[in-house]
Amino acid sequence: MSYIVEIDKEYVAGTYNRFPVEIVRGSGSVVYDTDGKRYIDMGSGIGVTALGLTNEGWQNAVAAQLGQLQHMSNLYYTAPCAELAQLLCERTGMKKVFFGNSGAEANECAIKVARKYAADKKGADYTTIITLENSFHGRTLTTLAATGQDHFHELFQPLTPGFVHTPANDIEALRRTVAEHKVAGILFECVQGEGGVIPLEPAFVQEMARLASEQDFLLMVDEVQTGNGRTGQLYAYMHYGITPDVVTTAKGLGGGLPIGAALLGEKAEKVLGFGDHGSTYGGNPVCCAGAYYVISHIDDTLLAEVREKSDYVFSALQGAEGIKSVTGKGLMIGIETVKPAAEVLKACMENGVLCLTAKAKLRLLPALNIPMPLLQEAVAVILDACKE
């Protein structure tokens, strides 16, 4: 055992079951471990390093801001925060942005906005937030309550009350759930990520949007994993022809620096006033400068490339030996394998490809700009590892 593994095991809280690999450096979609072994990175830090590792333009943008001002309180104006908010609104049609530091924090903001919107408009008893079974919304006590997977809940009772879960893609059950509760909002992932990379059906998404508009509660899309180009559109809701009231995002937004955002549409933009919400690091200038670079480089050309690479991966994997199904959208891909996914992942790692899992599936979230030859090399290794 190396010294780093030893002290990590001794001093870092045991919340992560790490692989026995220490990564020391990376470039683009390639990383190296302590022995100098090369891996193709098909996980990109769980969809975080959207433009690859040590991206030069991103580094320059971050370094320039770092040399000017690394932090300032939200008591004052700073340019990167204002400019990033403007860019996000221009690219989505949303009206205002609240910045935090993570996906969970972005969802916490969305939930507060929905509760306050409902209290202001309908009364203080309209508190219920509907989420979907098999969803994932974060690790704080409130976003755990939102998460529709019981095994995350068991050890941490009592969770924040006021959440109900309804099955994905079941329109009748959705209508019943809405009818039975005093609803403040509905929160969902367009492609359930941690739940196994499962896209929602368009008719179901459109029915959630219709009910939210008819009953005047907030339609909130959790784009923490699906956002920022991951699915081949800037945000995944754009595939579904809906206009959300709140869009939350994080992961790929910062390109590797911690940032989360809740984008607020017309119905939600004025709900929060002075003192209703806050975050000390929220809108940090270095994180915002990095995110500005990321968002301004996810243009139509890159999005078209994401869709092309996605088509390539789907057609290479679908129907191949040892693969039962391939699901997802863009470069967010789930692979149902005949062998246990953990076994396939291990074989890939031995052969120089880092993958993720989601439930019983192998999951791929490569950088959006992964070069085609590297993607082909990784797919060949994955195909081989899946064979019985």
Ligand X SMILES: *Cc1c(COP(=O)(O)O)cnc(C)c1O
**Which spans of this chain sit near ligand X (rule: CB under 6 A)?**
102-104, 107, 136-138, 189, 193-194, 222, 224-225, 250-251
Compute CA 140 distance to the chain's CA centroid, rounded to the nearest angstrom.
16
Provide the minimum distance between the beta carbon of 386 and ligand X in the complex, in angstroms, as a whole number: 24
Provide the minimum distance between the beta carbon of 47 and ligand X in the complex, in angstroms, as a whole number: 7
Residue 234 or 250 with smaller CB distance to ligand X: 250
Residue 189 or 245 with smaller CB distance to ligand X: 189
Residue 127 or 228 with smaller CB distance to ligand X: 228
Element (H, E) at 142: helix 141-146
Residues 6+ apart with CB under 8 A from 185: 110, 111, 113, 114, 115, 117, 118, 129, 130, 212, 217, 218, 219, 220, 245, 246
Provide the minimum distance between the beta carbon of 193 and ligand X in the complex, in angstroms, as a whole number: 4
C-alpha 212/C-alpha 232 separation (Å) is: 26
Provide the minimum distance between the beta carbon of 209 and ligand X in the complex, in angstroms, as a whole number: 18
Buried b (16+ CB within 10 A) or exposed e, 220-249: bbbbbbbbbbbbbbbbbbbbbebbbbbbbb
Decide: 206 and 241 in contact? Cβ < 8 Å. yes
Provide the minimum distance between the beta carbon of 150 and ligand X in the complex, in angstroms, as a whole number: 17
Provide the minimum distance between the beta carbon of 147 and ligand X in the complex, in angstroms, as a whole number: 8
Residue 41 or 222 with smaller CB distance to ligand X: 222
**Which single residue brings its beta carbon nearest to ligand X?**
103
Residue 94 or 347 with smaller CB distance to ligand X: 94
Helices 300-317 and 372-386 sit at what angle, rounded to 10 degrees? 20
3-state secondary structure of 24: strand
**CA angle 135–141–147, rounded 5-degree value:** 5
